[in-house]
């Protein structure tokens, strides 16, 4: 390659393809570099026939290539055909190793030694990264592969799978599944435990080992691969076994290191993981910079997707846009920008226009964005591009004076920021006239965001105000992108939490000293913040997560109470002096605010109302303490059972639940009417599995959503389709693309991926004419037989029957009263002991 291309595009996913297509359309000299022998590898690797979704629906597609929801094969086929039609210059097997040079003269080095010259570079490599490679010596002719498409292809081979994650285990099980294939399968794992794999996969693997269908080597690493043989280093020394094929599934390296090193200068610096050792590292301020050191951070980009290295542009998932449509639009846009079309409005312009439509006229989108950014303190660190993205996930509204923004007790988790005007907080639910103002530029509603708990007070607009509602997702991303925003939100949240918790007429100035000395600490599940019998006077406020209080009685810990986020503990030793009277430990991972004891004592001394309030709370706890002390000899059996049951429920994740279905197996007759009712209330799919799940003392926790305070399922949802509803329900909306991330992230296995079955004949026609499958979820066979057309698999989970009058169907439909729904703070109280 002698001549330099105008544009080199790295990666042929939706973003790269679209960019290359646009460049070809415009007649720009370009090259599309793809490391495999086919286009769009990520989608290519989807399973056969997978339905690819095209969300967000309201976003217009702007790309030379067509894209519509449909089967993987159809999508790929269209792209292949249109790429060829546009005459895109594709270079296959071109894996870029490094990029050097500067704008106008970049050199892209490939792993096979070739070099490509280009004036500008578009990075569209996604976030999948490259598979980790085998590091041991591999003899020529030995077969080592990093993917397995179809396990049925291999017969009568000795196959070794390296890696004990889900991918490795699933591959190994697939190869050993059919005895007739005659494969001898071994799986090798570096550690003794399979900590990264899913429980059922590990169980299946160990089952296959016990059945003699597979050999499982733990604490072993491959030392050498030869033709027909593989050698391992094991705990007990070297081991050599027959091996015709190695399938290495050892995870992948995120592409960040590669991106950061583009056009960077290097220097010797200390290896952060290996103190004392030096390594070659990127010199600060050179190369493509990221917004923070967070694992999930994205590159710093200009409004035209240009990175901190002029001439290198980043688009697609790597730029923070995981959806195919976004990627394709950016591919088009970035080529337009490079070609000098600076007047181009982004494709999301109409969406943003709509967001600002309800506001006073006279400003365009860019001006509104700039106004919000400059007026609101926590947004000031955002770049204009980030600001656009931020607004896509947020809403802005105008409120008339006196209009309610949210009400006390609502279970929402968004954050609000005031762009213009001010609001009033009704701090006393009994008397709405007592209010505290919050002014322009400030935020409110941060408690819901941080603790996942209900709104603590009703808030109204004080005057005509423009207020931004920041969704939970956008707020979290903002905190990752802008460290100063995070600090500010933390400070305000501590201050407000104290004011709200203790009320008692405190002001910001009163608590200033305590806030200044406060420290936020993350506590692992099971870790104690207060230990019985220790000295200490600090007070802890639980910010997120929940805690349990235990007391040692007769050498055994007895469960005293469950303390949800938003409560405080540790006041007893502070007021009474003396040692801690009980142990407080985290039920699940929790954030606590440690308030220095002396400062808090001074505050109490100056504010008698506060002391009175704290004493009230303490009194209730003291009653529980004495209740247990008093009877520890007489009713140890009952206390024990209660204590054990509480512990069982905490172990089952009730500590992070907001509303959970429990089944009293003293009453459950196994009729499964709960499951049938669930299916019949929701498109014919049951969202609960009554029989599965753990049981203790006949209290059964079925496989069903607990509506966690901080839902794990929300963590990584590309279309942001999972929300918390007004009554606390966590639900998935129609924009679900069926990627299965939420299912993988849920530690309780309550999300299923399934197709909505066809509509059933009515109950009466079943009763009298025998038509259809009857009440409950129809059988898979019936659904397949009766469904018309292709339907995508989507994520299905409990939505607490939101919007259905009468409430959760599972409870209403239980004939014996075995099914109950509870929230942990109602259920885990000593009060139940006396009942």
Partner 1 sequence: MLMVKNPPSASRRERTSSHDGFLRYRNFRWAKIAAVICGISIAAYLMIDVQPHPNGGSAEGYVLGTIGALLILWLTLLGVRKRAMTRGRWSLKAWTSAHVYLGLSLIVIATLHTGFQFGWNVHTLAYALMMLVILSGIWGISMYGALPKALSDNREMMTETQMLEALRSIDRQLHEAAQPLDQENADLVQSSLEQDPFGGGLWARLTGRYSNCSTRAAQAELRRGAAFRPKLADDPLDRIDSLLERKGSILLRVRRHLRLKALLEIWLYVHVPITFALIAALSAHIVSVFFYW
Q: Which of residues 524-563 bind partner 1 (CB under 8 A)?
A: 560-563
The verdict on 575 binding partner 1 (CB under 8 A) reads: no
- Give me the least distance between CB of 631 and partner 1, in Å please: 12
Residue of 694, 744, 759, 780 that binds partner 1 (CB under 8 A)? 694
Nearest CB to partner 1, comparing residues 632 and 812 = 812
Characterize 598-624 residue by residue with b for buried, 16 or more Cβ atoms within 10 angstroms of its Cβ, and e for exposed.
Answer: ebbeebbeebeebbebbeebeeebeeb
User: Interacting stretch for partner 1, rule CB under 8 A, among 54-62, 585-593, 606-614, 816-824?
Assistant: 816-824
Residue of 408, 556, 594, 793 that binds partner 1 (CB under 8 A)? 408
R_g (Cα) of the chain, nearest Å: 30
Residue by residue, DSSP assigns 668-705 as: -----HHHHHHHHHTTT----EEEEEEEETTEEEEE--
- Geometric angle at alpha carbon 783, from 781 and 787, rounded to 5°: 130
Give the 3-state secondary structure of 728-743.
CCEEECCCCCCCCHHH
Site for partner 1 in 490-509 (CB under 8 A): 501
User: Interacting stretch for partner 1, rule CB under 8 A, among 290-298, 317-325, 481-489, 809-817?
Assistant: 809-817
Give CA–CA dist 635/162, Å, rounded. Answer: 55
Residue of 104, 207, 526, 608 that binds partner 1 (CB under 8 A)? 207
Give CA–CA dist 804/811, Å, rounded. Answer: 13
The verdict on 147 binding partner 1 (CB under 8 A) reads: no
The verdict on 198 binding partner 1 (CB under 8 A) reads: no
Residue of 579, 623, 771, 784 that binds partner 1 (CB under 8 A)? 623
Give the 3-state secondary structure of 6-66.
EEEEECCCHHHHHHHHHHHHHCCCEEEECCCCCCCHHHHCCCCCCEECCCCCCCCCCCCCC
The verdict on 513 binding partner 1 (CB under 8 A) reads: no
User: Interacting stretch for partner 1, rule CB under 8 A, among 60-68, 154-162, 528-536, 673-681?
Assistant: 673-681
Burial class (CB in 10 A: 0-12, 13-18, 19+), 115: exposed
Site for partner 1 in 164-183 (CB under 8 A): 179
The verdict on 192 binding partner 1 (CB under 8 A) reads: no
Question: Which helix (H) or strand (E) is 634 found in, with range?
Answer: none
The verdict on 601 binding partner 1 (CB under 8 A) reads: no
The verdict on 806 binding partner 1 (CB under 8 A) reads: yes
Nearest CB to partner 1, comparing residues 111 and 695 = 695
The verdict on 112 binding partner 1 (CB under 8 A) reads: no
**3 state SS of 461:** strand
Give the 3-state secondary structure of 338-380.
HCCCCCCCCCCHHHHHHHCCCCCCCCCHHHHHHHHHHHCHHHC
Residue of 230, 547, 558, 818 that binds partner 1 (CB under 8 A)? 818
Residue of 80, 226, 233, 665 that binds partner 1 (CB under 8 A)? 665
Residue of 726, 744, 747, 780 that binds partner 1 (CB under 8 A)? 726
Residue of 520, 727, 731, 791 that binds partner 1 (CB under 8 A)? 727
The verdict on 620 binding partner 1 (CB under 8 A) reads: yes
Site for partner 1 in 757-796 (CB under 8 A): 763, 767, 774-775
Nearest CB to partner 1, comparing residues 438 and 663 = 663
Site for partner 1 in 69-88 (CB under 8 A): none
Residue of 212, 276, 555, 789 that binds partner 1 (CB under 8 A)? 212
The verdict on 813 binding partner 1 (CB under 8 A) reads: yes
The verdict on 684 binding partner 1 (CB under 8 A) reads: no
Reported as half-sphere exposure (CB side, CA atoms, 13 A), residue 710 has a value of 17
- Give me the least distance between CB of 672 and partner 1, in Å please: 11
Residue of 16, 693, 711, 718 that binds partner 1 (CB under 8 A)? 693
Identify whether the C-beta of residue 116 lies closer than 8 Å to the C-beta of residue 33.
Answer: yes
The verdict on 831 binding partner 1 (CB under 8 A) reads: yes
The verdict on 409 binding partner 1 (CB under 8 A) reads: yes
The verdict on 829 binding partner 1 (CB under 8 A) reads: yes
Q: Is the dihedral of CA 41, 46, 49, 54 positive or negative?
A: negative
Q: How far is CA 543 from CA 130, 191, 495, 593, in A?
A: 39, 35, 12, 7
Helix 14-26, helix 324-338: angle, nearest 10: 30
DSSP state of 180: G
Residue in 709, 573, 598 with CA at minimum distance from that of residue 654:
709
Identify whether the C-beta of residue 590 lies closer than 8 Å to the C-beta of residue 655.
Answer: no
Residues present in the chain in total: 835
Site for partner 1 in 440-469 (CB under 8 A): 453-454
The verdict on 613 binding partner 1 (CB under 8 A) reads: no
Q: Any alpha helices (H) in 381-429, and if so which ranges?
A: 384-392
The verdict on 431 binding partner 1 (CB under 8 A) reads: no
User: Interacting stretch for partner 1, rule CB under 8 A, among 64-72, 390-398, 437-445, 666-674?
Assistant: 666-674
Does a cis peptide bond (omega within 30 degrees of 0) precede residue 56?
yes
Size of the site for partner 1 (CB under 8 A): 79
The verdict on 677 binding partner 1 (CB under 8 A) reads: yes
Give CA–CA dist 809/829, Å, rounded. Answer: 26
Residue of 570, 728, 757, 778 that binds partner 1 (CB under 8 A)? 728
Identify whether the C-beta of residue 694 lies closer than 8 Å to the C-beta of residue 700.
Answer: yes
The verdict on 695 binding partner 1 (CB under 8 A) reads: yes
Identify whether the C-beta of residue 588 lies closer than 8 Å to the C-beta of residue 525.
Answer: yes
Residue of 691, 733, 785, 790 that binds partner 1 (CB under 8 A)? 691
Give CA–CA dist 585/138, Å, rounded. Answer: 50
Identify whether the C-beta of residue 336 lies closer than 8 Å to the C-beta of residue 330.
Answer: no
Nearest CB to partner 1, comparing residues 54 and 667 = 667
Give CA–CA dist 275/405, Å, rounded. Answer: 51
User: Interacting stretch for partner 1, rule CB under 8 A, among 100-108, 569-577, 599-607, 800-808?
Assistant: 800-808
The verdict on 823 binding partner 1 (CB under 8 A) reads: yes
Kindly state the tokens that stand for 526: 């099971």
Nearest CB to partner 1, comparing residues 490 and 681 = 681
The verdict on 706 binding partner 1 (CB under 8 A) reads: no
Identify whether the C-beta of residue 305 lies closer than 8 Å to the C-beta of residue 330.
Answer: yes
**3 state SS of 420:** strand
Strand runs (DSSP E) across 62-95, as ranges? 70-71, 90-91
User: Interacting stretch for partner 1, rule CB under 8 A, among 246-254, 363-371, 511-519, 725-733?
Assistant: 725-733
Kindly state the tokens that stand for 461: 């607009």
Residue of 6, 249, 411, 724 that binds partner 1 (CB under 8 A)? 411
Kindly state the tokens that stand for 679: 């299916």
The verdict on 720 binding partner 1 (CB under 8 A) reads: no
The verdict on 200 binding partner 1 (CB under 8 A) reads: no
Nearest CB to partner 1, comparing residues 638 and 692 = 692
- Give me the least distance between CB of 702 and partner 1, in Å please: 10
Nearest CB to partner 1, comparing residues 562 and 600 = 562
The verdict on 820 binding partner 1 (CB under 8 A) reads: yes
Nearest CB to partner 1, comparing residues 220 and 546 = 546
User: Interacting stretch for partner 1, rule CB under 8 A, among 257-265, 322-330, 524-532, 622-630?
Assistant: 622-630
Nearest CB to partner 1, comparing residues 413 and 420 = 413
- Give me the least distance between CB of 616 and partner 1, in Å please: 8
Give CA–CA dist 618/665, Å, rounded. Answer: 36
């Amino acid at each position: 390659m002698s001549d330099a291309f105008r544009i080199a595009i790295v990666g042929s996913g939706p973003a790269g393809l679209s960019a290359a297509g646009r460049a070809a359309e415009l007649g720009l000299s370009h090259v599309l570099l793809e490391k495999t022998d086919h286009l769009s590898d990520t989608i290519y690797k989807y399973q056969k026939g997978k339905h690819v979704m095209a969300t967000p629906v309201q976003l217009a597609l702007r790309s030379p290539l067509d894209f519509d929801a449909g089967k993987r094969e159809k999508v790929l086929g269209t792209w292949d055909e249109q790429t060829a039609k546009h005459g895109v210059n594709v270079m296959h097997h071109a894996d870029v190793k490094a990029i050097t040079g500067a704008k106008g003269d970049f050199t892209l080095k490939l792993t096979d030694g070739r070099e490509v010259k280009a004036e500008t570079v578009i990075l569209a490599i996604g976030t999948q990264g490259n598979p980790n490679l085998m590091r041991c010596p591999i003899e020529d002719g030995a077969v080592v592969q990093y993917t397995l498409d179809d396990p049925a292809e291999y017969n009568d081979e000795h196959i070794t799978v390296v890696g004990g994650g889900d991918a490795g285990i699933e591959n190994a099980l697939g190869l050993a599944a059919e005895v007739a294939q005659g494969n001898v399968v071994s799986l090798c794992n570096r550690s003794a435990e399979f900590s990264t794999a899913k429980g059922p996969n590990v169980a299946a693997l160990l089952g296959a080992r016990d059945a003699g269908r597979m050999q499982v080597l733990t604490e072993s690493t491959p030392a050498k691969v030869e033709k027909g043989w593989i050698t391992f280093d094991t705990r007990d020394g070297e081991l050599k076994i027959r091996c015709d094929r190695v399938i290495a599934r050892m995870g992948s390296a995120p592409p960040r290191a590669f991106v950061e090193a583009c056009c960077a200068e290097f220097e010797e610096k200390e290896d952060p993981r290996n103190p004392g050792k030096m390594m070659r590292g990127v010199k600060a301020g050179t190369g493509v910079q990221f917004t923070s050191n967070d694992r999930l951070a994205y590159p710093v980009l200009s409004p035209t997707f240009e990175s901190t290295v002029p001439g290198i542009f980043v688009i697609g998932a790597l730029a923070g846009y995981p959806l195919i449509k976004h990627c394709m639009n950016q591919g088009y846009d970035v080529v337009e920008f490079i070609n000098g079309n600076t007047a181009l409005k982004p494709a999301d312009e109409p969406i943003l226009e709509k967001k600002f439509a309800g506001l006073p006229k006279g400003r365009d989108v860019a001006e509104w964005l700039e106004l919000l950014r400059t007026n609101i303190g926590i947004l000031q660190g955002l770049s204009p591009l980030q600001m656009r993205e931020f607004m896509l996930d947020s809403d802005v509204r105008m409120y008339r004076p006196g209009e309610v923004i949210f009400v006390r007790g609502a279970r929402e988790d968004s954050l609000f920021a005031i762009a213009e005007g001010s609001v009033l907080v009704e701090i006393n639910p009994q008397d709405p006239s007592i209010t505290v103002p919050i002014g322009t530029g400030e935020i409110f509603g941060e408690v819901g965001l941080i603790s996942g708990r209900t709104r603590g007070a009703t808030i109204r607009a004080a005057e005509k105000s423009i207020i931004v509602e920041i969704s939970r997702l956008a707020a979290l991303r903002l905190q990752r992108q802008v460290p100063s925003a995070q600090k500010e939100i933390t400070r305000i949240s501590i201050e407000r939490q104290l004011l709200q918790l203790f009320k008692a007429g405190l002001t910001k100035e009163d608590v200033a000293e305590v806030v200044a000395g406060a420290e936020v600490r993350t506590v692992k599940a099971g870790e104690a913040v207060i230990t019985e019998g220790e000295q200490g006077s600090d007070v802890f406020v639980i910010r997120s997560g929940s805690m349990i209080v235990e007391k040692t009685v007769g050498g055994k810990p007895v469960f005293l109470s469950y303390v949800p986020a938003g409560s405080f503990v540790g006041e007893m030793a502070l007021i009474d002096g003396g040692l801690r009277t009980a142990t407080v430990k985290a039920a699940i991972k929790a954030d606590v605010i440690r308030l220095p004891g002396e400062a808090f004592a001074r505050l109490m001394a100056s504010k008698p109302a506060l002391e009175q309030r704290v004493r009230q709370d303490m009194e209730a706890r003291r009653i529980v303490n004495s209740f247990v002390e008093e009877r520890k000899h007489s009713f140890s059996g009952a206390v024990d059972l209660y204590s054990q049951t509480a512990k069982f429920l905490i172990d089952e994740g009730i500590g992070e639940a907001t509303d959970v279905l429990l089944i009293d197996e003293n009453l459950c007759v196994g009729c499964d009417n709960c499951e049938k009712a669930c299916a019949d209330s929701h498109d014919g799919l049951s969202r609960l599995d009554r029989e599965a799940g753990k049981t203790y003392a006949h209290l059964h926790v079925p496989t069903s959503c607990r509506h966690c305070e901080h839902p794990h399922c929300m963590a990584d949802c590309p279309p942001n389709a999972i929300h918390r509803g007004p009554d606390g329900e966590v639900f998935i909306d129609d924009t679900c693309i069926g990627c299965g991330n939420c299912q993988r992230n849920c530690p309780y296995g309550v999300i299923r991926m399934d197709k909505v079955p066809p509509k059933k004949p009515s109950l009466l026609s079943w009763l009298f004419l025998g038509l259809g499958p009857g009440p409950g979820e129809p059988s898979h066979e019936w659904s397949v037989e009766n469904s018309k057309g292709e339907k995508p698999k989507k994520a299905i989970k409990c939505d607490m029957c939101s919007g259905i009058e009468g409430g959760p169907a599972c409870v209403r439909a239980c004939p014996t009263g075995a099914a109950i729904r509870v929230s942990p703070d109602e259920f885990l109280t000593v009060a139940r002991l006396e009942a």
